[in-house]
C-alpha cells in the first residue's frame, strides 16, 4: 500500500471512529458546532496532504484535534472575535497529545436535542455531528430533499450558537428529562413504530444501524435506565430483521417468521440491557416497549402465549405514552388475545384522527378478519395498502394474507 | 398548496393485475383523504404524437417529445398543507419503486 493510500485509510478510520468525539471537544469550547465541523474538515484535508510524507502520527485523533483547534482559533481571529487571540493562544498551549481525549459526545447530543432546537431537526443534527453523516444521506431517510435538510441543519447550528446553549452535563436530577429528548430523537431515527403484531410493520429504513450506534454512546456515557430500554428495544427489533422478509422479498409477519433466523447474540444483549435497566427500579416507556418485544419473542420461541402479561404491559405503556402507535398496537394485542370485538371498539374510539394512519387500517383489517367480516377486512386492507411505502407490505395486504389461517 | 404528482414509469412495462389493485387503492386513498383535485392515466407513449412548428412548417413525429427511459404514465393534482405532505403522498405511490414521482408545485393563476 502506498503512503498516500495508508494516509487516506488512517484519516478515514479516524474520521469514522472519532468524528463525534472531536466535534464535541471542539464545539464545547466555542459553542459553535458549524465552525467546529469546518475546522475538523480542514484538519482531515490537511492530514491527507501531510501524512503521506510524514507517516501517520501515533495518535491520529490528537493530531487532528490540534490542527482543528489551530484552524478554529485562526478563523475566530479573522472574524474579529474579541477574545480570539486569547482563545487561540490557549489552544496552542494545550498539550498536543493528552493521554486520553475526554468524551463529550453526551454533552453534544444534549445540545442537539435541546428544547431551543426545532424538534424535527434534533435527530438529524445528532446524526450529522456525532456520526458525521452528510445532509444528503440523512435527507434520504427523512423524506426531505438534500437542500431542505442541509438548510434545516444550518439553521439548527446557528441556533445553538446564537442561543448560547451550554455544552454541560446537567445534574443528576435534570439529566433524565434532558436525556429523554435525546432518546426520542434516536428512536425517531430508528424508524417509525414497530407494530408487527398488526402486520403493519414497515421496513426499517436506512438509519437503524446509526440509531443503535447513538444509543450505545448514550448507554456507555450515562446510567439512565431508559437509554438501556431504548437500546434493548432496537436490538430486539434488529435481531428479527433477517426473518422479516422471505427469500423473494415478501413480507413475513412475526407469527410466521422462521425463529432460527433471529439473531441470538442481539437478543441476549437486549435481555441483559433490560435486566440492567430494571435494577434501577424506574419504569419508562422504552423499557416497557422492550419488555413487550421480549414477551412477543419468548411466546414464539416457547409456544407459550402470555396474553395477560402483554396486555398489562400495553396498558402501562398507554398510561405513559398514549401515542397513536401505542394505542393501535394495544388494540392489536387485544385482538390476538382473543378479544377482537373489544379491539374493534378500541379502534373505533381512535378512529377519526387516524384516517391516514397506516397501522390503524392494517390492524382494523386483521380485527375484521378475526370477527369474520371478510369484506370489511378486505376494504381496510386496501386502505392500509394504499398508505404504506413498503411494496412487500402492500403486496401482503392486497393478497389478503392477514386473514387467520 | 397545490402540487402535481407526475408518475414516470419505465417505458414498455406492463401493468400486472396486482399492480393495478395497488394503483386503484392508492388513488382511492387520496380521494378519501380529500387531497385529490383531479388526475388521469395516460395511454402508452407509443400512442403519442408530437408537433413542432418550424418556420411555419408543421413537423409531426410519432411518439413522445422526449426520448427517455422513463415516460409520463399519469398525473394527479393534490391539495396539501405543504411540500412535506406532498412528498408523503408521493412516497406511497406504487410506481415509486421502479419509476419516479415528480412533485411539481402549481403556480397560482396570473392576476
Residue B6 has pLDDT above 60, yes or no: yes
CA distance B111 to chain A (A): 29
Same domain, A38 and A84: yes
Same domain, A180 and A120: no
User: Is A261 domain-assigned?
Assistant: yes
Taken in order of first residue, the domains within chain B and their CATH numbers are: 2-105 (3.30.70.1060)
Nearest to B10 by CA among B40, B45, B42: B45
Last residue of a domain, one of A103, A119, A146: A103
Last residue of a domain, one of A56, A80, A103: A103
Determine, for residues A398 and B94 on separate chains, whether the beta-carbon distance falls below 8 Å. no
Lowest mean pLDDT among A52-56, A370-374, B48-52, B67-71: A52-56
Same domain, A236 and A153: no
Which grid coordinates belong to A331?
A: 388494540
- The residue among A394, A399, A400, A401 with the most chain B CBs within 10 A of its CB, best to mutate, is A394
Nearest to A285 by CA among A176, A145, A160: A176
Determine, for residues A398 and B88 on separate chains, whether the beta-carbon distance falls below 8 Å. no
User: Is A405 domain-assigned?
Assistant: no
Determine, for residues B32 and A383 on separate chains, whether the beta-carbon distance falls below 8 Å. yes
Same domain, A130 and A255: no
Would you call A400 an interface residue with chain B, using a CB distance cutoff of 8 Å? no
Strand partners, B78: B3, B36
B23 to chain A: closest CA residue: A386
Same domain, A44 and A88: yes
B83 to chain A: closest CA residue: A144
Question: Chain A to chain B, count of Cβ pairs less than 8 Å apart?
Answer: 42
pLDDT attached to residue B26: 95
CA distance A401 to chain B (A): 14
Same domain, A335 and A352: yes
User: Is A251 domain-assigned?
Assistant: yes
CA gap A262, A270 in Å, rounded: 13
Determine, for residues B94 and A391 on separate chains, whether the beta-carbon distance falls below 8 Å. yes
The CATH number of the domain where A139 resides is what?
1.10.10
pLDDT tens profile A299-337? 999 988 888 889 999 999 999 988 888 999 999 999 989
Residue A161 has pLDDT above 50, yes or no: yes
Would you call A129 an interface residue with chain B, using a CB distance cutoff of 8 Å? no
pLDDT tens profile A172-207? 888 888 899 899 888 878 864 343 323 333 444 467
CA gap B27, B24 in Å, rounded: 5
Mean pLDDT of all residues belonging to chain A: 85
pTM recorded for the entire structure: 0.79
Determine, for residues A394 and B29 on separate chains, whether the beta-carbon distance falls below 8 Å. no
pLDDT tens profile A64-98? 998 998 888 776 666 555 454 554 455 555 555 45
pLDDT tens profile A121-140? 998 999 899 888 888 878 87
Last residue of a domain, one of A61, A82, A103: A103
Contacts by residues A326-334 (CB-CB < 8 Å, ≥ 24 positions apart): A328/A195, A328/A198, A328/A354, A328/A357, A328/A359, A328/A360, A328/A363, A329/A193, A329/A195, A329/A197, A329/A198, A329/A292, A329/A359, A329/A363, A331/A363, A331/A367, A332/A195, A332/A197, A332/A198, A332/A363, A332/A366, A332/A367, A333/A197, A333/A307
User: Is A403 domain-assigned?
Assistant: no
Lowest mean pLDDT among A30-39, A142-151, A288-297, B25-34: A142-151
CA distance B40 to chain A (A): 18
What is the extent of the structural domain holding A91?
Answer: 3-103
pLDDT tens profile A25-50? 999 888 899 999 999 999 988 888 88
**Which residues in chain B have their CB less than 8 angstroms from residue A386's CB?**
22, 25-26, 28-29, 92
| Residue predicted with more confidence, A177 or A287 | A287
User: Is A209 domain-assigned?
Assistant: yes
The stretch A369-393 carries a mean pLDDT of 92
Burial class of residue A280 (count of CB atoms within 10 Å of its CB; 0-12, 13-18, 19+):
middle
Same domain, A243 and A389: yes
Per-residue pLDDT band for B18 (boundaries 50, 70, 90) equals: low
Are A390 and A195 in contact by the 8 Å Cβ rule? The answer is no
pLDDT tens profile A238-249? 899 889 888 888
The shortest CB-CB distance from B29 to any of A386, A389, A395 is to A386
**Which residues in chain A have their CB less than 8 angstroms from residue B16's CB?**
none
Would you call B32 an interface residue with chain A, using a CB distance cutoff of 8 Å? yes
Same domain, A53 and A64: yes
Would you call A399 an interface residue with chain B, using a CB distance cutoff of 8 Å? yes
Same domain, A84 and A112: no
Burial class of residue B57 (count of CB atoms within 10 Å of its CB; 0-12, 13-18, 19+):
exposed
CA gap A212, A189 in Å, rounded: 9
pLDDT attached to residue A338: 92
Would you call B21 an interface residue with chain A, using a CB distance cutoff of 8 Å? yes
Same domain, A160 and A183: no
The number of folded domains in chain A is 3
Partner A, chain B 70-99, Cβ-Cβ below 8 Å: 83-84, 87-88, 91-92, 94, 96-97
Same domain, A249 and A326: yes
User: Is A198 domain-assigned?
Assistant: yes
Would you call B26 an interface residue with chain A, using a CB distance cutoff of 8 Å? yes
**Which residues in chain B have their CB less than 8 angstroms from residue A143's CB?**
84, 87-88, 91
pLDDT attached to residue B12: 65
Determine, for residues B92 and A389 on separate chains, whether the beta-carbon distance falls below 8 Å. yes
The CATH number of the domain where A332 resides is what?
1.25.40
Phi, psi of A245 (to 5 degrees): -130, 140
| Rounded CA Rg of chain A | 24
Amino acid at each position: 500500500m502506498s503512503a498516500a493510500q495508508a494516509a487516506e485509510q488512517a484519516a478515514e478510520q479516524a474520521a469514522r471512529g472519532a468524528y463525534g468525539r472531536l466535534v464535541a471537544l471542539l464545539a464545547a469550547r466555542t459553542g459553535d458546532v458549524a465552525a467546529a465541523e469546518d475546522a475538523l474538515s480542514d484538519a482531515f484535508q490537511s492530514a491527507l496532504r501531510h501524512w503521506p510524507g510524514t507517516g501517520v502520527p501515533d495518535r491520529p485523533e490528537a493530531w487532528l484535534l490540534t490542527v482543528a483547534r489551530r484552524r478554529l482559533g485562526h478563523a475566530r481571529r479573522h472574524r474579529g472575535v474579541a477574545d480570539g487571540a486569547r482563545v487561540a493562544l490557549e489552544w496552542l498551549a494545550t498539550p498536543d497529545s493528552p493521554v486520553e481525549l475526554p468524551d463529550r459526545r453526551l454533552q453534544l447530543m444534549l445540545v442537539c436535542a435541546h428544547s431551543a432546537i426545532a424538534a424535527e431537526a434534533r435527530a438529524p443534527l445528532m446524526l450529522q455531528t456525532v456520526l458525521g453523516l452528510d445532509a444528503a444521506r440523512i435527507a434520504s431517510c427523512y423524506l426531505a430533499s438534500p437542500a431542505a435538510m442541509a438548510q434545516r441543519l444550518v439553521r439548527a447550528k446557528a441556533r445553538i450558537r446564537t442561543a448560547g446553549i451550554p455544552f454541560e452535563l446537567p445534574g443528576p436530577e435534570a439529566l433524565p428529562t434532558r436525556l429523554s429528548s435525546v432518546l426520542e430523537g434516536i428512536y425517531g431515527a430508528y424508524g417509525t413504530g414497530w407494530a408487527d403484531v398488526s402486520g403493519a410493520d414497515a421496513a426499517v429504513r436506512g438509519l437503524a444501524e446509526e440509531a443503535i450506534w447513538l444509543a450505545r454512546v448514550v448507554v456507555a456515557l450515562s446510567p439512565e435506565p431508559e437509554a438501556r430500554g431504548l437500546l434493548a428495544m432496537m436490538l430486539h427489533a434488529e435481531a428479527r430483521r433477517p426473518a422479516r422478509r422471505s427469500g423473494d422479498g415478501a413480507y413475513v409477519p412475526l407469527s410466521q417468521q422462521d425463529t432460527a433466523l433471529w439473531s441470538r447474540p442481539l437478543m441476549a444483549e437486549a435481555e441483559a440491557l433490560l435486566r440492567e435497566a430494571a435494577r434501577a427500579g424506574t419504569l419508562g416507556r422504552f423499557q416497557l416497549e422492550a419488555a413487550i418485544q421480549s414477551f412477543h419473542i419468548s411466546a414464539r420461541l416457547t409456544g407459550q402465549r402470555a396474553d395477560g402479561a402483554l396486555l398489562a404491559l400495553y396498558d402501562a405503556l398507554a398510561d405513559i405514552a398514549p401515542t397513536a402507535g401505542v394505542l393501535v398496537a394495544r388494540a392489536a394485542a387485544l385482538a390476538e388475545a382473543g378479544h377482537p370485538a373489544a379491539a374493534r371498539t378500541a379502534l373505533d374510539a381512535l378512529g377519526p384522527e387516524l384516517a391516514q394512519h397506516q397501522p390503524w387500517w392494517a390492524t382494523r383489517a386483521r380485527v375484521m378478519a378475526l370477527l369474520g367480516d371478510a369484506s370489511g377486512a378486505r376494504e381496510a386492507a386496501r386502505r392500509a395498502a394504499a398508505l404504506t411505502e413498503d411494496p412487500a407490505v402492500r403486496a401482503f395486504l392486497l393478497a389478503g394474507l392477514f386473514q387467520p389461517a | 398548496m397545490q402540487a402535481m404528482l407526475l408518475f414516470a414509469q419505465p417505458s414498455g412495462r406492463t401493468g400486472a393485475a396486482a399492480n393495478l389493485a395497488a394503483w386503484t387503492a392508492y388513488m382511492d386513498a387520496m380521494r378519501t383523504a380529500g387531497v385529490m383535485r383531479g388526475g388521469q392515466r395516460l395511454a402508452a407513449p407509443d400512442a403519442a404524437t408530437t408537433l413542432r412548428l418550424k418556420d411555419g412548417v408543421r413537423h409531426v413525429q410519432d411518439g413522445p417529445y422526449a426520448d427517455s427511459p422513463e415516460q409520463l404514465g399519469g398525473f394527479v393534482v393534490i391539495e396539501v398543507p405543504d411540500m412535506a405532505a406532498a412528498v408523503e403522498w408521493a412516497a406511497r405511490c406504487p410506481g415509486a419503486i421502479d419509476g419516479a414521482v415528480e412533485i411539481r408545485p402549481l403556480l397560482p393563476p396570473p392576476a
